[in-house]
Amino acid sequence: MAHYKVILAYDGTEFLGFQRQSEARTVQATVESALKKIGWSGVSITGAGRTDTGVHASGQVVGFDFDWSHSSDDLRDALNANLPQDVAVRSVEQADNHFHARFSATARCYQYQLFFGRVRNPLKERYAWRVWPPFAMDLVDKAAANLIGKHDFSAFGTPPQPGGSTVREILNASWMNDEENVTFEILGNSFLYHMVRRLVSFQVEIGLERRTPDEVEILLNGDQETMMQGLAPAKGLVLKEVRYPI
């Protein structure tokens, strides 16, 4: 019996998130169904992140045990042959038996896609948040710089388990603008529920000069007891990469 590490990509539009739920289409249940079609008899796969309804992934990681007698590439191809068009296995490799997709991870990288547009753009809006008017990039750059480090993010999200810590360490946070698309990228050891989407919404408010970059630092010092209510749409968020010890 071998233990496998699999990297998935999926369009989250038609999924009610990653985690299996009764009578709901989820990524986990879809992958498990494909595995069963090729002889897997396991109970559950493990995932690196429980992406929400409508959130996409290009680098989600799952792990499972499987008595597979062919190559890892054959397993990749067999799974892809049994998966729907909105999910794909990018790679398969055998992992150490101690590997755990979630608990072995050292960092996760998310990207959030936006674009500036006065009117709808049907070719972009499935995967990005349309914002108008354009916001000031220098202001969101300052806000993002204030996120780096270890902080209490309780104003921007809730922990996976009730009563859990809301302290997270952000290793990098930055904005990129190629004139047609705007991307926020954030790398951290882990994230609270809805944390990235609330941070994006808050920074857009800063870019539109409805708030100031200094407010980020105030909130991260625990001077705000109320959670920020702004929540960027799920469609712009992508789990880009999960990192593990080398």
Name the helix (H) or strand (E) containing 57.
strand 56-66
Is 65 known to be catalytic? no
Q: Number of C-alpha atoms within 13 angstroms, CB side, residue 182?
A: 20
Name the helix (H) or strand (E) containing 106.
none
Contact (Cβ atoms closer than 8 angstroms) between residue 164 and residue 85? no
Contact (Cβ atoms closer than 8 angstroms) between residue 166 and residue 159? yes
- Which among 196, 202, 204, 237 is positioned nearest to 217, based on CA atoms? 202
E strands along 76-192, which residues? 87-95, 107-116, 129-131, 149-152, 167-177, 182-188
**For tokens 């809805």, what's the residue?**
194
**Active-site choice (11, 52, 65, 86):** 52
Catalytic sites, residue numbers: 52
